[in-house]
Chains A and B, each alone.
Chain A
Amino acid sequence: MAFEGLAERLQGTIQKIKGKGKVSEADVKEMMRDVRYALLEADVNLKVVKEFVKNVSDRAVGQEVMKSLTPGQQVIKIVKDELTELMGGEQSHIAFSQRPPTVIMMVGLQGAGKTTTTGKLANVLRKKYNKKPLLVAADIYRPAAVKQLETLGKQLSLPVFALGTDISPVEIVKQAMEHAKAEHHDVVIIDTAGRLHIDETLMQELKDIRAIKEPDEVFLVVDAMTGQDAVNVANNFNETIGITGVVLTKLDGDTRGGAALSIRSVTQKPIKFVGMGEKMDALEPFHPERMASRILGMGDMMSLIEKAQANVDEEKAKELEEKFRTQSFTFDDFLEQISQVKKMGPLDEILKMLPGAGKIKGLENAKVDEKQMDRVEAIIYSMNTQEKTTPEIINGPRKKRIAKGSGTTIQDVNRLLKQFEDMKKMMKQMTNMQQKGKKKMKMPGLDSLFK
Chain B
Amino acid sequence: MSFFKKFKEKMMGTTQEKEETISITNKFKEGLAKTRNQFTSKVNDLVAKYRKVDEDFFEELEEILLQADVGFETVLELMDSLRFEVQRKNIKDTAGIQSVISEKLVEIYEAGEDNVTELQLEKEGLSVILFVGVNGVGKTTTIGKLAHRLKSEGKKVMLAAGDTFRAGAIDQLQVWGDRVGVEVIKQAEGSDPAAVMYDAIRAAKTRDADVLICDTAGRLQNKVNLMNELEKIHRVISREIPSAPHEVLLALDATTGQNALVQAQTFKEATNVTGIVLTKLDGTAKGGIVLAIRNKLHIPVKFVGLGEQMDDLQPFDAEKYVYGLFADGLELESENEDKE
List the interface of chain A (C-beta within 8 A of B). Answer: 1-3, 37, 40-43, 45-46, 109-113, 141-145, 147-152, 155, 196-198, 223, 225-230, 232-233, 250, 252-256, 258-259, 278, 348, 352, 367-370
Contact = CB atoms under 8 A, between A and B. Distances in A.
A96 B63 CA distance: 43
12 contacts: A1-B262, A110-B280, A143-B171, A144-B171, A147-B168, A148-B168, A149-B167, A151-B167, A223-B256, A225-B260, A227-B255, A259-B257
A253 B222 contact: yes
The 9 closest A-B pairs by CB, nearest first: A227-B257, A111-B136, A148-B168, A143-B175, A43-B257, A151-B167, A144-B171, A144-B172, A255-B259
A333 B102 CA distance: 62
Given A2-B262, A110-B136, A144-B171, A40 B283 contact: no
A113 B289 CA distance: 22
Contacts of B34: 198
A42 B283 contact: no
Given A227-B69, A228-B69, A250 B135 contact: yes
Size category, B interface: 35 or more
Given A110-B138, A228-B67, A348-B224, A3 B255 contact: no
B202 interface: no
Contacts of B174: 144
Interface string B64-86: 00111101100000000000000
A97 to B, nearest CB: 29
Contact of B289 (A141, A227, A254): A227
A228 B283 contact: no
B168 A225 contact: no
A352 B220 CA distance: 14
Contacts of A369: 224, 228
A319 B286 CA distance: 56
A229 B175 contact: no
Contacts of A113: 135-136
Contacts of A229: 69, 255, 283-286
B27 to A, nearest CB: 18
A352 B221 CA distance: 13
A46 B66 contact: yes
B276 interface: no
Nearest to B38: A232
B67 A254 contact: no
B168 A198 contact: no
B313 interface: no
A168 B60 CA distance: 46
B168 A227 contact: no
Nearest to B179: A143
A49 to B, nearest CB: 9
Most buried by A among B165, B166, B222, B225: B222
A155 B167 CA distance: 10
Contact of A109 (B68, B72, B220, B255): B255
Interface in B181-235: 189, 220-225, 228
A197 B34 CA distance: 12
Given A41-B72, A144-B171, 20 more contacts: A40-B66, A42-B258, A109-B255, A110-B280, A143-B175, A144-B174, A145-B172, A147-B168, A147-B171, A148-B168, A196-B283, A228-B66, A228-B68, A253-B221, A253-B259, A258-B257, A259-B257, A278-B165, A348-B223, A368-B224
B253 interface: yes
B67 A223 contact: no
Nearest to A148: B168
B134 interface: yes
Most buried by B among A41, A225, A250, A367: A225
A195 to B, nearest CB: 10
Given A40-B72, A155-B167, A348 B175 contact: no
Interface in B141-199: 165-169, 171-172, 174-176, 179, 189
Given A37-B72, A46-B67, A348-B224, A145 B255 contact: no
B168 A197 contact: no
Contact of A223 (B165, B169, B253): B253
A80 B169 CA distance: 41
B214 to A, nearest CB: 18
Most buried by A among B69, B167, B189, B260: B167
B265 interface: yes
Contacts of A196: 280, 282-283
A253 B220 contact: yes
B137 A111 contact: yes
Nearest to A36: B72
A250 B221 CA distance: 11
Contacts of B119: none
Most buried by B among A40, A111, A150, A369: A111
A250 B172 CA distance: 21
B138 A198 contact: no
Contact of B285 (A45, A111, A152, A227): A227
B261 interface: yes
